[in-house]
Structure 1
Amino acid sequence: MTEGRPGLPLELRFTVLDLAGKPLKDATITLWHCDPLGYYSGYLDMDPDEWVATATPEGVTAVEWDPPATDDSRFLRGTQPLDEQGAVAFSTVYPGWCFGRAIHIHIEVQVGGGGFLDQPALPPRRVEQVHREAPALQRALHAREAHQRL
């Protein structure tokens, strides 16, 4: 999933249950997140320290939640099937920070013709600890602190 992208190793494990509390089978999980510098694959031309916005007819800027890709890069994205216990694991790297967002990952569970998408934030205390201890993530810490002062 890292496609050789450097960073602090991170193992993510998920178990998905149905509404009855039984392991969900015959489903897949897709996971993606930015790299330690805040860049998403497919969007390397976008500055992670700037809010992505577009002009509206009224002249006000609006957040662009699904901008068109700027390149063909593919890293820190993966899809895997759930096992018989409804579990899956991904080996990746710790994500960085991009403007205006908590440090997070994107998770989509697909089953049958439907799915569920979530963007859980990583625990703030753990994020702070990791970012202070990992040199590769210092940029994320300093950028986030600078934007919080604005």
Structure 2
Amino acid sequence: MTSTQNPTAAGSGASATEAFRASRPQAGAAEVSAERVSSVVAAVLDGVRAAIREHNVTYPEYQAAKQWLIEIGEGGEWPLFLDVFIEHVVEQNAAATQEGTKGSILGPYYLPDQQRLPAVTTLPMRPDEPGVPLVFAGQVRDTAGRPLAGAEVDIWQNDAAGYYSGFAPDIPAGNLRGVVVTDDQGRFEITTIQPVPYQIPTDGPTGKLIEAAGWHPWRPAHLHLLVRAPGHRQITTQLYFAGGEWLDSDVATATKPELVLDPVERDGRLRVDYDFVLEPA
């Protein structure tokens, strides 16, 4: 199933910006040296200037780009735009020096401080939540194979219409979100529904860019996860589904073969097992 209708870009953008500000570490920029700022910003500007020269950008095109940048800011869409088109490259840089389970992008729809749940649990959902039932189970271990008791599996996903709670009207707060705490063997079993592909919001400036470029706005179905345990590096990742639409042409360029699940049907429900490996911090 795919989602053909989405909440407004303005509403989603404002929610994503607010969530980012609430969860962002406060130190950040103060820890970056002037030399580092200079070298990275100079390289970005050099790249922009080179593109302008290579493609002979005109004044009307420049003015249109300036207006688009203003609209991105006014609409609160910077988290959406950056997470869709830029974050995957930053994640690839981070992955080059990391062990354990493969990572992927965080995306703009994370909300911190969700309900803590036991190792065997059902994600918070509406009594009549539509969708295909899915049991997602596994174990969290360290790189030596030892189970990590009390690890946190912070999970969130969209509903059967492609919407995320906190970013769309009429969905209860915390719907299909939770922090699952593993048992003494590092195991967990989560009952939820299978997520669906969805369009990123297309009625704002990000959507205008996508339309003008002739691109598609679709992301494949996925589960979002942050997996953490004391003394270990947190994993940020997404898990996808074999045979799913847009798996090979994700607008966010975030899919990886190691992150594709292949559920099997059991007693009218889909079930899949996937283990996480955390490296020492």
Query: Shorter-chain TM-score: what band?
Result: 0.5 to 0.7
Residue 180 (structure 2) pairs with residue 80 (structure 1): yes
1:26 aligned partner: 150
Q: Is the 8 A contact 2:196 2:220 kept in 1?
A: no
1:94 aligned partner: 194
Return the structure number with greater relative CO, CA threshold 8 A, min gap 6. 1
Q: How many angstroms does 1:26 deviate by?
A: 2.7
RMSD between aligned residues: 2.5
Q: In the alignment, which of 218, 221, 225 is matched to residue 107 of structure 1?
A: 225
CA distance in 2, matches of 1:102, 1:33: 12
1:68 aligned partner: none
Residue by residue over 1:69-100, the C-alpha shift from the partner in whole angstroms, topping out at 9 and shown as x without a partner, is: xx873201011111111110111111111122
Q: How many angstroms does 1:105 deviate by?
A: 0.3
Identity of aligned residues (%): 32
Q: What number of residue pairs does the alignment pair up?
A: 103
Note the residue ranges of structure 2 that are not aligned, 5 or more in a row: 1-122, 200-217, 245-262, 264-281
Q: Is the 8 A contact 1:2 1:93 kept in 2?
A: no
Q: Higher helix share goes to which structure?
A: 2
TM-score (norm 1): 0.60
TM-score (norm 2): 0.34
User: Does the residue aligned with 1:119 lie in a helix, a strand or coil?
Assistant: strand
CA distance in 2, matches of 1:41, 1:102: 18
Q: In the alignment, which of 9, 13, 29 is matched to residue 133 of structure 2?
A: 9
CA distance in 1, matches of 2:225, 2:141: 15
Rg larger in 1 or in 2?
A: 2
1:144 aligned partner: none
CA distance in 2, matches of 1:86, 1:23: 5
Q: In the alignment, which of 136, 158, 161 is matched to residue 37 of structure 1?
A: 161
CA distance in 2, matches of 1:2, 1:98: 21
Note the residue ranges of structure 1 that are not aligned, 5 or more in a row: 46-70, 131-150
Q: Is the 8 A contact 1:10 1:92 kept in 2?
A: yes
One-letter amino acid of the structure 2 residue matched with residue 117 of structure 1 = T
CA distance in 1, matches of 2:173, 2:197: 19
Q: Is the 8 A contact 2:139 2:186 kept in 1?
A: yes
1:57 aligned partner: none
